[in-house]
With several copies, the nearest count.
Chain A
Amino acid sequence: MSLETSIQTSDKPLGRDDLARLVARDITPGSFVNLGIGQPTLVSNYLEPEQNITLHTENGMLGMGPEATGDQIDGDLINAGKIPVTELPGASYFHHADSFAIMRGGHLDICVLGAFQVSATGDLANWHTGAPDAIPAVGGAMDLATGAKDVFVMMTLLTREGVSKLVETCSYPLTGIGCVTRVYTDKAVFLTGPDGVRVRETFGCTLEELQALVPVPLKAA
């Protein structure tokens, strides 16, 4: 058995929920975590109470609970995606400058973000396609990318057109430089850093097959 197959941990690509479960499992107990809008929000469904994870939302709260339903819905209690959420025991509220001081001061252990592209050295592009007619919107993405101790990205490895989003150099406008430490995709988990890309595990492909899809040199972690 080759080294490549030894890191294949699933016989098919992971779906969004399986990937979210994997990210959730990888979060160190006791961590303070911010989950970005979109796919990263799914991670909250798979955090176990015994992990004692505290969720931060940029709009001024620590101790955010699951999405609100029915009578729980309260327009004054929303997450960064403007979706009604709930409050867990031990939650706290603060204003926007204090909330971003938590992010920018390096106090969050992990943030999980979506991405358009990630470079081999961990540059992140997730806020702007660069299309000339696009109206840009950045929100808290740059603050999270720069401030969190670890930045995890969740994305499909390929675009709909089959092009790798893990790239040598981002062609989309950057969100942050050298900030991404892990990339969770449907086909593999990548560890990014100044020394290039290592592959922790693959899903439904060998490292060799993965390398054929990705334009940056890969090696097993």
Chain B
Amino acid sequence: MLNFIDTVGEAVAGIQDGSTVMIGGFGNAGQPFELIDALMDCGATDLTVVNNNAGQGDQGLALLIKEGRVKKMICSFPRQSDSWHFDAKFRAGEIELELVPQGNLAERIRAAGAGIGGFFTPTGYGTTLAEGKETRFLDGKWQVFETPIHADVALIKALKADGKGNLVYRKTARNFGPIMAAAAKHTIVQVSELVPTGGLDPEVIVTPGIYVNNIVKVA
């Protein structure tokens, strides 16, 4: 069910302790900063967070991690020059890390949205990230079995939404948004602009409204 919501606080109010939360964005592009801040404020804890990175600087996801609200990160690239909050928690053994090659991360999220129970991919074969995983020789290559990543909630950022919840994005800020919207049970979107139904060309819609639950406009 689609709801247009006035504040980011109300938009994230239903997120429960222990949830798996997908957060869009690659670096700062496409990060739903206002929704992450609202998640910080709403108090939900014991979270598993799916994001490409593990927070940067002293804002957004990095703060959630610093405050001990994230028990596990599923990501491809946690270590960055400014990932000090994650680094500290990780070294202290206070956060769990599931490190996933970025393409596996994307494909596993896509699989969850598309109803695929698992798939074989050559990525990671023979590496420590495939240790203990089932392997199979297919299409002339050794491949590794990977499973979908489901989520309770996705927090994503789009450029525009129409009255049916259809979304379009902007440039490389699109990144994980469309696949996370499809993979989560409940998708919360912050947009820069709301347009009337019929205000988006049906040919250019990237995320159909069927994948969207809460929409909040952020100034």
Contact = CB atoms under 8 A, between A and B. Distances in A.
A complexed with B: yes
Nearest to B28: A75
A63 B164 CA distance: 9
* Size band of the interface chain B makes with A: 35 or more
A104 B182 CA distance: 11
A139 B87 CA distance: 17
Interface stretch (B35-43, B61-69, B165-173): B165-173
Interface string B199-219: 010110110111100000000
A93 B158 CA distance: 14
Contacts of A92: 166, 202, 205, 208-209
B106 A99 contact: yes
B79 interface: yes
A105 B113 contact: yes
Contacts of A38: none
Contacts of A32: 210
Given A60-B172, A62-B208, A78-B172, A101 B115 contact: yes
Interface in A144-197: 146-147, 173-177
Contacts of B100: 138
Interface in B96-133: 99-107, 109-110, 112-116, 121-129
A104 B122 contact: yes
Interface of A: 30, 32, 54, 56-63, 74-78, 82, 87, 89-97, 99-108, 128, 133-143, 146-147, 173-177
24 contacts: A54-B164, A59-B26, A59-B29, A61-B171, A62-B208, A76-B29, A76-B173, A82-B27, A89-B197, A90-B162, A90-B164, A92-B202, A94-B174, A95-B174, A96-B102, A96-B109, A97-B106, A97-B110, A105-B115, A134-B79, A135-B83, A137-B79, A175-B127, A176-B127
